[in-house]
Structure 1
């Protein structure tokens, strides 16, 4: 229940930030902020190197094996490598981001905000890995506290204050506020992790280096999977920014944000079950694991299908009511993106199941193919048509990825993750999922 509350706060706060920006800034500035947001989250996925998933599995598995020292050590290896890689990326953005943004998007605003974008990227990588380390320790409260919900809530307060006092009057000011609040959350997440694992495990220099290398080898395939997830969620908006004007970015970007409502139940249930997947796999309880996964898929699919129907009937008025009449044109992209989400949720948590059970290579291979399909398809769609075709290409690439992951999960593990179809079994699964929410 705590995870659900945190996710709901995160979604509500994110929408509130978007609404505030549309009320105080013109669509071009809103589009630039959303474009920077997408760039940050793609770069942050690179900086995490897959440790947001690896740390959960390694820590949870160590605890299942009754080895808390190894769990603490795994948490710190993940944090250290993430700080190093994301720090290097942030420095590269500060040094070379300006000319690159100018070349890709032809906008001086992002060029002058390169420093803030670099800081924002670093903070997002570190905060996420720190929060997920707590999840590996089965501390859902701390993972939620340093998750997207409180992060977005803090951003909402800071952004609202800055906008109301006219301290923020363009996209650059909004990006700077996001960078500062993100850095504060990252520091709090690492500080809490340090207190949890105190005293820090002793280590020799040579052994430490070997552990870091082993962790990287284990995590790099997952990095491709994590990068694919982010690219599949953000690359279409970046392509809109490269091919269309800033106003189109704002329309598409806000439709994309509203479409995230469709995937919310699956995201919440995935964050709850990730440690359980690793735990049940370690104990070789395959039947129990499959039952859990199908319960999750069934419980998540019903509400997302209902949300899609709402968007189909009244998506345009919803966008107009939330953001203003200028954004009503995002109705068709909203419906297309939401339909893709419904299919993906129905496929179940196959990708995270592969990641939590040691099949990182499969995740990596499918991810490379999905990224290629997304980038190529979205770019061609953007050259030949408008933002609705870009949405169709993006949704199609994500669907292909999830279908492939579902097949591989069945092939490698003998586990079927898709939602139930029979009404009687659907009813039983809905009853079962209540215990999962209550226990978390």
Structure 2
């Protein structure tokens, strides 16, 4: 795990730079409509999670436990990828495109079709990126997987997206939101093609295939709890933004979206480390729990240290940070950034409790916690936004986020006997001694 962790640190830094570049160019290009760009991106990601039906996380778990020469297991994994790629992701992409077309009835024909196509491509390619990155990680292609993991699809995808959005900003700024969405969608293309080629090489020696309906039935029945947990977790990070779009003004939505988008960086370290640790958790759980707990708590400490480098500037100088990333008009979102950043502290301190639950085949319990939190967010967030505006919505989000982190941490210990929070005595040597 030592080499994987070092490579993770490098790819993590590149992912943050790419993510910041995407937001910097999009914020300057769109100004007051930036919030709706963020809403479109988050909606496409959530719909893509539905289209994946949990196969990406289930595939990661099963691929990491696969024994050498297990062609039957490989054939099952291939069938899951086939079902998602040919049925569920295309279906959700078409539905997303149709809904977008209906909602864009006030636009001219060219803009309407461009936004519709962009949304469909975003759902399809964004879903493929997540699916293939998890499979690569499970099969042991650590370095390439690291380039495809994290917000905005990791450093590889973020680099393409930032370059394309920059092109729109400098050469075709009149394209506005349509151009930004199109550039974001196209930015997935090359990394997804490269990843797909690498994944399919793993099973190219296999013979015939099962019926597509059998593959579809297997992936949905075996992975739907993963899908529920993933969608619930994602909604917990975005539902307040959608409430802002319903209740607040365009300028307030952009401010809230800018602050929320920036606080997402706080989770990149922990999220990326979770993917690095997930195969190890799946292998060691129930076999060497003492070693596993030490690894988990060491990982939580590393994640907290990396996050602190970003959290401190958000707390000390939120206004200048927002202006540096998005432009001078976004400095007024400083109180929102401060509140949302503080709300994410519990998630960082609690460690990889969610990963332990899902890798221990208790993803249904994790999903229940996430969906209860979503329901609370909807009610509390709507009331807070209506009564107190963007600041009230940020307070509501921070409180619920803290409660979810503490709940997952406590439930994980109760169900598995493993503590996942950070430690003041990390055992870094274990990272070198444990196979990633």
Q: Give the TM-score normalised by the residue count of structure 1.
A: 0.88
Q: In the alignment, which residue of structure 1 is the partner of 2:3?
A: none
Q: In the alignment, which residue of structure 2 is the partner of 1:429?
A: 426
**Contact in 2 for aligned 1:19/1:323 (Cα 8 Å):** yes
**Which of residues 126, 141, 154 in structure 1 aligns to 2:160?**
154
| Separation (CA, whole Å) in 1 of partners of 2:224 and 2:332 | 40
Q: In the alignment, which residue of structure 2 is the partner of 1:129?
A: 131
Q: Deviations over 1:51-100 (max 9, x none)?
A: 2211110111123xx45424422432332232221211111122232334
| Separation (CA, whole Å) in 2 of partners of 1:125 and 1:430 | 36
- From the superposition, tell whether residues 110 and 41 of structure 1 become closer, same or farther in structure 2 (CA, over 3 Å): farther
Q: In the alignment, which residue of structure 2 is the partner of 1:371?
A: 374
Q: State which drifts further: 408-417 or 122-131.
A: 408-417
- SS of the residue 1:429 aligns to: coil
| Separation (CA, whole Å) in 2 of partners of 1:378 and 1:260 | 18
- From the superposition, tell whether residues 71 and 161 of structure 1 become closer, same or farther in structure 2 (CA, over 3 Å): farther
| Separation (CA, whole Å) in 1 of partners of 2:238 and 2:218 | 30
| Separation (CA, whole Å) in 2 of partners of 1:415 and 1:116 | 44
Q: In the alignment, which residue of structure 2 is the partner of 1:423?
A: none
Q: In the alignment, which residue of structure 1 is the partner of 2:228?
A: 224
| Consecutive unaligned residues in structure 1, runs of 5 or more | 421-425
- From the superposition, tell whether residues 117 and 339 of structure 1 become closer, same or farther in structure 2 (CA, over 3 Å): same
Q: After the TM superposition, which segments of 4 or more aligned residues of structure 1 sit over 6 Å from their partners?
A: 108-112
**Contact in 2 for aligned 1:378/1:393 (Cα 8 Å):** yes
**Contact in 2 for aligned 1:304/1:342 (Cα 8 Å):** no
Q: Is 1:196 aligned to 2:202, yes or no? A: yes
Q: Deviations over 1:20-59 (max 9, x none)?
A: 2333x24223222222112111111211222221111011
Q: Deviations over 1:367-408 (max 9, x none)?
A: 221221222222222222221221222222222222222222
**Which of residues 69, 72, 75 in structure 1 aligns to 2:77?**
75
Q: 1:4-403, aligned counterparts within 5 Å?
A: 4-23=9-28, 25-63=29-67, 66-83=68-85, 84-100=87-103, 113-147=115-149, 148-166=154-172, 169-205=175-211, 209-210=213-214, 212-281=216-285, 284-305=287-308, 307-403=310-406
- SS of the residue 2:206 aligns to: coil
How far off is 1:328 after superposition? Answer: 0.8
**Contact in 2 for aligned 1:132/1:143 (Cα 8 Å):** yes
How far off is 1:120 after superposition? Answer: 0.6
- From the superposition, tell whether residues 67 and 367 of structure 1 become closer, same or farther in structure 2 (CA, over 3 Å): farther
How far off is 1:254 after superposition? Answer: 1.7
**Contact in 1 for aligned 2:373/2:404 (Cα 8 Å):** yes
Q: Is 1:411 aligned to 2:408, yes or no? A: no
| Separation (CA, whole Å) in 2 of partners of 1:433 and 1:245 | 51
| Separation (CA, whole Å) in 1 of partners of 2:112 and 2:381 | 22
Question: How many positions carry a matched residue from both structures?
Answer: 423
- From the superposition, tell whether residues 89 and 203 of structure 1 become closer, same or farther in structure 2 (CA, over 3 Å): closer
| Separation (CA, whole Å) in 1 of partners of 2:148 and 2:118 | 21
Q: Give the TM-score normalised by the residue count of structure 2.
A: 0.89
**Contact in 2 for aligned 1:263/1:304 (Cα 8 Å):** yes
- From the superposition, tell whether residues 330 and 246 of structure 1 become closer, same or farther in structure 2 (CA, over 3 Å): same
How far off is 1:110 after superposition? Answer: 7.6
